[in-house]
Amino acid sequence: MSDELTSELRELAVTGETPPPLSGAEIRGRAVRRRRHRRTAAVVVGASAAAALALVVALNLGGGDTNQHPSPAASPTGRPTTPATADAVVDLSRRVVTVAGRELPLSSGSAQTPTPADRMTVTARVTMKLIPAEELGYKGYDLKVPWFIELRAADGKTNYIAGLAYDEKAPGNYDLTSGWIGLRESDAEWLYGQLKEGSVVDIEGTAPTPTPVSTPTVTSPTDTATVGP
């Protein structure tokens, strides 16, 4: 009975066996494809790791803040300034004011009160101004000066240009003011229309030395001729 039982069990095992779903060649092909997939996955993982490492290094070098931007270069604290072009040039040695290509004769300070050379700026303008007599360079009563243009230097010193109404022969010929610049009244009016507040005026040179006036020698009649009876 044991032999019969053994035979039946073997037959039952044989009938219970299921054939494999794939052939041997298909099983080997699937194994090859799995190896290729594993290799590809390893390559992708390695590239991702390298990229992540590069990002970490970049963040460490940059301070770790992706929103941080490089600070702009500091601008220089001081800029070289270009001197402004003068709107008018006063040439004391030639006794002229040059403005817009036109030359206006002037009379500047006398030998006792010379006009200082400097760069000045127009700070005020009035068509008529009362000037004390001592500022005009003589003793007497105050005068109204037409077409008054006030000038100021960088150190705070002031001067002015105006019409020399009381002696219009002086501009271009001789100097008689107390240091201010006098023009013929018509020229002063024209210059008043050319210069505005903020205009730059350069005063250059020195006034020419006045030529001394020689006094004629008067001889006695007795020295040149004999007086007859």
Quick one: pLDDT band at residue 229, thresholds 50, 70, 90?
very low
Average pLDDT (35-40) is: 70
* Beta partners for residue 106, in sequence order: 183
Per-residue model confidence (pLDDT) at position 148: 97
Quick one: pLDDT band at residue 160, thresholds 50, 70, 90?
very high
Q: Which of 3-17, 21-35, 54-68 has the lowest mean pLDDT?
A: 54-68
- Element holding 113 (H helix, E strand): none
Each residue's pLDDT tens digit, 87-118? 999 999 999 999 999 999 999 998 889 999 99
Q: What percent of the chain has pLDDT over 70?
A: 57
Per-residue model confidence (pLDDT) at position 14: 64
Per-residue model confidence (pLDDT) at position 22: 58
Average pLDDT (214-228) is: 47
Per-residue model confidence (pLDDT) at position 133: 76
Cβ atoms of residues 184 and 165 within 8 Å: no
Q: Which of 30-39, 99-108, 201-210 has the lowest mean pLDDT?
A: 30-39
Residue 48: phi and psi, rounded to 5, are -65, -40
pTM reported for the whole predicted model = 0.57
Say which residue the tokens 């799995």 belong to. Answer: 34
Average pLDDT (183-195) is: 97
Query: 3-state SS of 120-166?
Result: EEEEEEEEEEEECHHHHCCCCCCEEEEEEEEEEECCCCEEEEEECCC
CA 194-196-198 angle, to 5 degrees, is 135
Who has greater pLDDT, 61 or 1? 61
For the chain, the average pLDDT equals 78
